[in-house]
Copies of this chain bind each other. A is one copy, B any other.
Amino acid sequence: MKISIIGIGLIGGSIALKLKEKGIASFIYGIDNNNTHLDEALNLKIIDAKVDLEYGIINSDLIIMAIPVDSTRNLLPTVLDLISENQTVMDAGSTKSGIIHSIKDHPKRPRFVAFHPMWGTENSGPTSAISNSFSGKAGVICNKEESAEDALHLAEKIIESLDMHLIYMNADDHDIHTAYISHISHITSYALANTVLEKEREEDTIFQLASSGFSSTVRLAKSHPEMWVPIFKQNKENVLDVLNEHISQLRKFKSALEKENYEYLEELILNANKIRGILDK
């Protein structure tokens, strides 16, 4: 199968590597505004050729869009305009409602399958791509009833080839869940980095003292705004809702400390400890 990947970065590159390794992709066209990324991807044999958008779309069976969610939203109608009824389009974005809404009246809507692989790192670009990235992680398909049966079937095959476990979800529910399982983590991590950078003017002290705990909590703060601003923008209401809850949770810690109410502090911590039972199932 010939596959075009629009956006040969961390996600697009990792998908390409895995689909070649599994023998699913016989030829991969890379499409990207960033020519350096295309050249890197060619050198790393992540893609077989770099092509322009129209050529790639017309000449492939499957088109996977792995670009920032606002770009997907803008470009998807054009991509659907260009394909035939035998081709399939998937995205890989972290928000789903806006993207799905943008094509809801498009005559080729059934050719699109809304996909979100629940994996990412703070790194970007094809040099960060890893073929086994997705193994064991959740691969979410949203609003599957709006996709044609054969398109859905192909997307499921792709997601299984990435070794992900399939989950079906309504797009609105997806955007609520990802707000607190993924998007809020990024905001707390960014805010934590800014807190430390604001309070700690001696960079050497941060570097010397930084423990594994700090590095782990602040890791996501390295993530690029090109990807994350559009996510926060498209999922604004849900993210704000969770952010307000998070600030009120932090205020409970503040109040417990201010009032020296250490029984309450212990209670808050014991409640947080329950996350162990859920994550380590």
1/0 per residue, CB under 8 A from B, across A245-273: the answer is 11101111110011010100110111111
Q: Does A35 sit within 8 A of B, measured CB to CB?
A: no
A186 proximity list for chain B (CB < 8 A): 213
A119 proximity list for chain B (CB < 8 A): 211-212
Main secondary structure of the interface of A (DSSP, over half): helix
A240–B271 alpha-carbon span in the complex (Å): 21
Assign chain A's interface to a size class: 35 or more
Q: Does A243 sit within 8 A of B, measured CB to CB?
A: yes
Minimum distance in angstroms from A195 CB to a CB of chain B: 4
A140–B195 alpha-carbon span in the complex (Å): 23
9-residue interface stretch from A72-80, A95-103, A196-204 = A196-204
A residues contacting B by CB (< 8 A) are 118-122, 137-138, 140, 165, 167, 177-178, 180-182, 184-200, 203, 205-225, 228-229, 232-233, 236, 239-247, 249-254, 257-258, 260, 262, 265-266, 268-276, 278-279, 281
